Amino acid sequence: MIYLDNSATTKPYKEVLETYVTVSEQYFGNPSSLHSLGLEAEKVLTKSREVVAKLLGVQSKEVIFTSGGTEGNNLAIKGIALEHSSRGKHLITSVIEHASSYETFSELEKKGFEVTYLPVNQSGHISIEELKRALRSDTVLVSLIHVNNETGAAQPIEEIGKVLKEYPKVFFHVDHVQGITKVPVHLKNNHIDLCTISGHKFHGVKGTGALYVREGITLSPMLHGGVQEARFRAGTENVPGMAALAKALRMSTDKAQERKDHLIQLQQKAVNGLQEIDGVVVNSGIGDRHAPHIVNFSIPGAKPEVIIQALSHQQVYVSTKSACSSKLSSPSRILMEMGLGNKRAESAIRISFSYDTKNEEIEAFIKVMKKEVPKLLQVMR
């Protein structure tokens, strides 16, 4: 099996599942219960929060546990927009956000908010000048995806942070779901107010995530009820899930340090190999402004489902665009917005690595591609 769909989801680390099971069995109490079983569960939750906070370089009380990236993005965007609407109803985002942000902004537009969608260039980057022009006195939020989930294009968060430092009333949310453990971002130094991460993207378990909310910021909650998660997110805490999240983040951060250049090498190898194949166009870039774990390419004229099936039969797993919208048979919104045209946007394939992906797996993938692509092109003619 050659699994090259790590941006859709990753396999949980063995140690992460062990943590999950241990906590589920030994610390199964409800952290809100006052007896010692409850207190012990609460300690595990507190410890997990401390670990996540430390790895993010923030305070424990600034970490809100969620059920995943979609919830994090929804909570950050709606939470800020609805809570601070008296200050203004203008929001800024980009045209290449993940559906969990993009659809949330569409929803807010229906509720009377005005949204500026910053365009991107052919490499998938917004322009700092356009951002500056978009900022208004009634702007309350800038929300941007750091690493795009389809192309790996990384927005210049440091530069954006510098611009937003001059606008202390504008909140800055970063969708860091694809970036975390791949492209480091210092939350505190870059004027970031809110930041979303999702456990299953870095070998944690599904249904877990965290939202960093800078101290002092108030949010309108989506889930009302108990007083958990600083009242920002009611509901019995998923203690084993969050312990697993902390473990996965620690392990992935360690791997990122040990194997810093590994993903870059895999990416270079994949791009080189793909460029040798007739009919294949690489859509994503490499280097500083791109995450090292994603390569996006098209086979103009081919149906991506057919390529995916052909590769899947060889136990090579890749994807079309975002998993969250892969069942919608429309061209990739992201590639269209990059101006790559319908043919490329319709036939886009994404491969995505983890730190455990092997060089040989990329070689085998290229080998399979070299065999399958000519067959596909043959059929199409």
Whole-angstrom Cα distance, residue 164 to residue 92?
A: 12
- Cβ atoms 281, 344 nearer than 8 A: yes
Return the closest-CA partner of residue 265 out of 380, 344, 183, 363.
Answer: 363
User: Closest CB to a copy of itself among 60 and 127?
Assistant: 60
Active site residue 324: yes
Closer residue to a copy of itself in complex, CB, 207/300 = 207
Whichever of 161 and 353 has its CB closer to a copy of itself, that residue is: 353
Separation of alpha carbons 299 and 279, rounded Å: 6
What one-character-per-residue DSSP string does 66-126 give? ES-HHHHHHHHHHHHHHHTGGG--EEEEETT--HHHHHHHHHHHHTT-EEEEE---TTS--
Q: How many CB atoms lie within 10 A of CB 188?
A: 14
Tokens of 209: 């995530």
Is residue 262 helix, strand or coil? helix
Q: Which is nearer to a copy of itself, 192 or 351 (CB)?
A: 351
Q: How far is Cα of residue 270 from the mean position of the Cα atoms in its chain?
A: 22
The least CB distance from residue 49 to a copy of itself, in Å, is 15
CA nearest neighbour of 298 among 267, 324, 332: 332
Smallest distance, a copy of itself to C-beta of residue 320, A: 7
Rounded least distance, CB 288 to a copy of itself, Å: 29
Q: For residues 268 and 326, which CB has a smaller minimum distance to a copy of itself in the complex?
A: 326
How far, in Å, CA of 181 to CA of 261, rounded?
13
Residues in the chain: 381
CB of 76 vs a copy of itself, minimal distance in Å: 12
| Neighbour order of strands in the sheet with 194-198 | 63-66, 209-213, 194-198, 171-175, 139-145, 90-94, 114-118
Residue whose tokens read 């509720």: 111
Find the shortest distance in angstroms from Cβ 82 to a copy of itself: 10
Residue 233 or 262 with smaller CB distance to a copy of itself: 233
Among residues 324, 366, 368, 377, the one annotated as catalytic is 324
- Residue 218's CB is within 10 A of a number of other CB atoms, namely 13
Taking a C-beta distance cutoff of 8 angstroms, is the pair 116, 144 a contact? no
Tell which residue, 6, 5, 81, 37, has the closest CA to residue 255: 6
CB closer to a copy of itself, 24 vs 265: 24
Are the C-beta atoms of 96 and 337 separated by less than 8 Å? yes
Tokens encoding 78:
């709606």
CB of 362 to a copy of itself, least distance (A): 17
Kindly state the smallest distance separating residue 342's Cβ from a copy of itself, in Å: 20
Beta pairing class for 209-213 and 114-118: unpaired
Task: For residue 204, give both structure tokens.
Answer: 């944690």
The least distance separating a copy of itself from the CB of residue 199, rounded to whole angstroms, comes to 10
Phi, psi of 114, deg, nearest 5: -105, 130
Nearer to a copy of itself, 276 or 305 (CB): 305
Catalytic residues: 324
